Amino acid sequence: MSHLLAARVRTGLLWAAAVAVVVVYGFPFVYLVLTSFKPAVDAIAVPPTVLPQRFTLDNYLTALNRPGVTASFINSVSTAVVATLLSMALAIPAAWGITRYRTRAGQLLMAGSLLVRMAPAVAIGIPLVTILGAAGLTDTPTGLALAQTTVALPLSIWLLASFFEGMPREIEEAALVDGCGRFTALLRVILPVVSGGLAVTAIFAFLASWNEFLFALLLTSVRAQTTPIAIANFQSQFGLDWGPMTALATLYSVPAVVLTLLLQRRIVAGLSLGAVKG
Amino acid sequence: MSPTAQAAPPRSAPRTPAPTGGRRARRGLSDAGYATLLAAPAAVVLLALVGWPLVKLVVDSLHSGSGLGDGRRFAGLANYVTALTDPGIRAAAGRTLAYTLIVVSAELVLGLAVALLFHRLGPRARILQTLFLYPLMIAPVVAGLLWRFLMIDSVGIVNELLTRVGILDNPGDVSWLSDPDLVLFSVALPDIWLTTSFMTLVLYAGLQAIPPDLYEAARLDGARGLRLLVSVTLPLLRPVIAVALIIRGVDAARAFDVILIQTDGGPQSASETLSLTIYKTMVSYNDPGTAAATSTLFMIVMMVVAMVAVLTIWRPGKES
C-alpha cells in the first residue's frame, strides 16, 4: 500500500515538474503577447507589470499603419510559399532516390546537403547578391525565395530521407507487384503513407523561409522586404517603440503557431513513425 | 524555377547518365539511373544556388579592393593572412566557439532532461509536449527582440522578478546586455530558449524508438535510475544525440539575427560572433576580400569539425 502511495507521489511530482517547465518556458512569449495589448505607455512602465491594467489594440493599429508593414506581410507569405513549393518539389524525388536506391551519387548529395547546412549564410548570401542581381531578381520575392531554398531544400531532403528510411520496404514492393511503375508507386502509394512526414517537412521548410533574416537583409530593400526586416527596422527608425514592436512580433508569430496547431497531430505522428514501424 | 534552370544547363547535362540496364530495369532505365534522375534536379539547384556562390566567394577571397570595379586586383593569399592575424577576427572566432559551447551544452542538458520527463509521463503529457514545442516556430528575430525586452537594464521583467524573489537587491544590479563580461551569455539565452524544443523533440523521438524490452532486461539485471540512463539510454541515443548536436552546433556557430537584434555585437564587440564580423567587414567596412577569406576559413573549420563529429560520435557505419 505504501509502495503504491510512493509511486503516486512520484508521478504527481513528475507532473508538477513538467507543468512548471512548460509554464516557465512559455512565460516569455505570454509576456510578449500581454505586453502587446497594453497601452504603449504601460509597455515601458517602471517597474514592469505582467498583466495589462487595461486591454487595448492601439499597438496593433500603430504597427499596421506604419508604412510598408502590411506589404511586408504579403512579401513574407509569397516568399515562404514559393520557397516551400520549390523545396518540396525538389526534395521529395531526391530523398526517395537517395534512401531507396542508395547509390553513390545519392550519398554524395546527402553529404552535400549536410555541407550546405554548414556554410555560414553570410558566405552564400554575399555572392548571391551579385548573382541574383545579374538574373534581374534583386529585391523580388522570387529572388529571396531562391536564396532561402538553399536553407529549406537541404533541410527537407534530410527530414524526408529520415521519414522514408522509417518506412517498411514491403509497401513499395507490394505496389510494384501490383503492376505499378516505380514513379507511380512513389506518387500513389509511398507518398500517402508518409503524408505525416511530408506535412512536417513542409511546415519546417515554410518556417525556415518565414523566419529567415539574413538573406532578406542582404537581398531586399523596399519592394520585397519581409516582416522580420520590418521588425528590425522598427527600432532604428522609430527608436525603441516597444508597444507596437511587441504587437508586430506577436502578429508575425500567429501563422506559425496556427499552422503547428492545425497539423500538430501529424507532427507527432510523423515523428513517431520510426518508432511504430515494428 | 526558370531562372535556376537558365543558370545551370551546362552543369545539368553531364549529370544524367545513360541507362546501364540493371537487373530490375524497367522502361529502359536502371535503378541507379532512375535514382540519379530523381536526385538530379535538387543537385542542380544546389550547385547553382550554393556551389556557384561558394566558387565566387573563393575567387573574391583572392582579390582585394571593393567589388565595384575600383581597383579590384589579385591579392593571392593576403586576405587569408589578414583573416588569420587580425585581432578583431581572432577574438570573434573565440567568441563564436564560446557562444556555440554555451548554447549547445545548455540545450543538451535541458533538452535531455525534458525529453526524459515527457517520455516518463507518456502520451498523456502530449498537451505539455505541444506547448513546449512552440518556441521552435518563432522567428529568431522575434525571440531576440523579446529577450532584449525581458532583459532591458533595470526596467526589464527578468530583473524585476529576480528582485522580487530576493536574488537581486535592486533591479539595476545586473546589466545583462550592456555588461561586456556577461553579454555573450545573455545573447545566447534566446537561442537556447528557441531551440531546446528541437533538442527535446529529437531526443524524445529517439527515446520512443528504444524497445521497452531492453529496459526490462536491464531492470532484471538490477540496473536502476541513473545507471539505467548511463548504460542503456544514452548509448542507444548516441546517433540521435550526435545528429542533434551537430545540427544545433552548426546553427549556433552561425548565429546572426538573434545577436544582431539584441546588441548588434556590442558592447565593445563583446557579443560579436564571426557571422556579424563578416557581415560588418562586408557591409560597413566594404572589404569584400577579407570578408570572403574569413567566410571561407569559417566554413572549412565548421565542415572539418562537423565531419569529425559525424565520424566519431555518430559512427554511421555501425547503424546499417
More confident residue, B121 or B3: B121
pLDDT at position A86: 97
Q: Are B278 and B291 in contact (CB under 8 A)?
A: yes
Q: Give one DSSP letter per residue of B122-134, joined into a string.
A: GGGGHHHHHHHHG
Same domain for A53 and A65, yes or no, is no
Residues of A in contact with B117 (CB under 8 A): 14, 17-18, 21
Domain housing B134: 87-318
Shortest Cα distance, chain B CAs vs residue A123, angstroms:
5
Tell which of A25, A46, A209, A219 to mutate to test the B interface (max B CBs under 10 Å).
Answer: A25
Q: Is residue B182 in a domain? A: yes
Residues of B in contact with A197 (CB under 8 A): none
Residues 6+ apart with CB under 8 A from B263: B177, B183, B187, B271
Answer with the one of B30, B54, B78 that is the final residue of a domain: B54
* Chain-chain contact of A126 with B1 (C-beta, under 8 angstroms): no
Same domain for B105 and B39, yes or no, is no
Same domain for A99 and A226, yes or no, is yes
A141: CATH: 1.10.3720.10
Q: Is residue B246 in a domain? A: yes
Residues of A in contact with B157 (CB under 8 A): 31, 48, 50
pLDDT of residue B317 exceeding 80: no
Of A127, A184, A105, A271, nearest to B17 by C-alpha is A105
Q: Is residue B279 in a domain? A: yes
Same domain for A200 and A167, yes or no, is yes
| Grid cell locating A57 | 489594440
Same domain for A177 and A193, yes or no, is yes
Q: Note if the bond before A141 is cis, omega within 30 degrees.
A: no
* Chain-chain contact of A228 with B142 (C-beta, under 8 angstroms): yes
Same domain for B36 and B98, yes or no, is no
Shortest Cα distance, chain A CAs vs residue B108, angstroms:
15
Chain B residue at shortest CA distance from A109: B43
Would you give per-residue pLDDT tens digits along chain A (278 residues)?
577 888 889 889 999 999 999 999 999 999 999 999 988 777 777 777 778 888 888 889 988 888 889 999 999 999 999 999 999 999 999 999 998 888 888 888 988 887 787 788 888 998 998 899 999 998 999 999 999 999 999 989 988 888 888 788 888 888 888 878 888 888 888 888 888 788 888 988 998 899 999 999 999 988 899 999 988 887 655 567 788 889 999 999 998 888 877 777 666 554 444 333 22
Chain A residue at shortest CA distance from B292: A123
Same domain for A90 and A19, yes or no, is no
**What would the pLDDT profile of B186-230 be if each residue is shown by its tens digit?**
999 999 998 898 888 888 888 888 888 887 788 788 777 778 888
Q: Which residues pair with B74 in a beta bridge?
A: B63
Mean pLDDT of all residues belonging to chain B: 82
Same domain for B112 and B250, yes or no, is yes
Among B12-16, B222-226, B274-278, B306-310, the range scoring the smallest mean pLDDT is: B12-16
Tell which of B6, B16, B45, B304 to mutate to test the A interface (max A CBs under 10 Å).
Answer: B45
pLDDT at position A239: 61
pLDDT at position B19: 43
* Chain-chain contact of A101 with B274 (C-beta, under 8 angstroms): no
* Chain-chain contact of A119 with B7 (C-beta, under 8 angstroms): no
Same domain for A161 and A30, yes or no, is no
Same domain for B164 and B284, yes or no, is yes
Partner-chain residue, chosen from B52, B118, B126, that has the shortest CB–CB distance to A131:
B52
Residues of B in contact with A50 (CB under 8 A): 157
Same domain for A146 and A8, yes or no, is no
Same domain for B91 and B49, yes or no, is no
Instruction: Please tell me whether residue B26 adopts helix, strand or coil conformation.
Output: strand
Shortest Cα distance, chain A CAs vs residue B117, angstroms:
7
Q: Are A260 and A267 in contact (CB under 8 A)?
A: yes
* Chain-chain contact of B38 with A214 (C-beta, under 8 angstroms): no
Q: Are A157 and A94 in contact (CB under 8 A)?
A: yes
* Chain-chain contact of B291 with A126 (C-beta, under 8 angstroms): yes
Residues of B in contact with A116 (CB under 8 A): 46, 50
Q: Is residue B60 in a domain? A: no
Q: State CA B17 to chain mean position distance.
A: 35
Using a pLDDT cut of 70, give the percent of chain B over it: 87
Whole-structure pTM value: 0.84
* Chain-chain contact of A25 with B54 (C-beta, under 8 angstroms): no
Rounded Cα distance, B252 and A131, in Å: 27
Centre a 10 Å sphere on the Cβ of residue B6 and count the other Cβ atoms it contains.
10
Residues of A in contact with B224 (CB under 8 A): none
pLDDT of residue B7 exceeding 50: no
Same domain for B114 and B187, yes or no, is yes
Tell which of B57, B100, B128, B149 to mutate to test the A interface (max A CBs under 10 Å).
Answer: B149
The top-scoring range by mean pLDDT among A232-246, B6-20, B50-64, B65-79 is: B50-64
Rounded Cα distance, B104 and B192, in Å: 8
Q: Is residue B79 in a domain? A: no
Q: How many domains does chain A have?
A: 2
Shortest Cα distance, chain A CAs vs residue B23, angstroms:
13
Partner-chain residue, chosen from B4, B43, B279, that has the shortest CB–CB distance to A146:
B4
Rounded Cα distance, B245 and B199, in Å: 8
Same domain for A28 and A81, yes or no, is no
Q: Is residue B65 in a domain? A: no
Q: Which residue has the cell 529517439?
A: B206
ipTM metric: 0.85
* Chain-chain contact of A100 with B35 (C-beta, under 8 angstroms): yes
* Chain-chain contact of B39 with A105 (C-beta, under 8 angstroms): yes
Same domain for A153 and A189, yes or no, is yes
pLDDT at position B320: 36
Q: Which residues pair with B64 in a beta bridge?
A: B73
Residues of B in contact with A35 (CB under 8 A): 149
B278: CATH: 1.10.3720.10
Q: How many domains does chain B have?
A: 2
* Chain-chain contact of B50 with A103 (C-beta, under 8 angstroms): no
pLDDT at position A91: 95
* Chain-chain contact of A116 with B3 (C-beta, under 8 angstroms): no
pLDDT of residue B21 exceeding 70: no
* Chain-chain contact of A231 with B145 (C-beta, under 8 angstroms): yes
Same domain for A29 and A166, yes or no, is no
Count interface pairs A-B at CB distance under 8 A: 261
Of B202, B236, B5, nearest to B107 by C-alpha is B202
pLDDT at position B260: 92
Same domain for B128 and B9, yes or no, is no
Same domain for A205 and A123, yes or no, is yes
Domain housing A33: 2-59
Q: State CA B102 to chain mean position distance.
A: 13
Q: Is residue B195 in a domain? A: yes
pLDDT of residue B132 exceeding 90: no
More confident residue, A31 or B73: A31
* Chain-chain contact of A103 with B193 (C-beta, under 8 angstroms): no
Same domain for A39 and A157, yes or no, is no
Q: Is residue B276 in a domain? A: yes
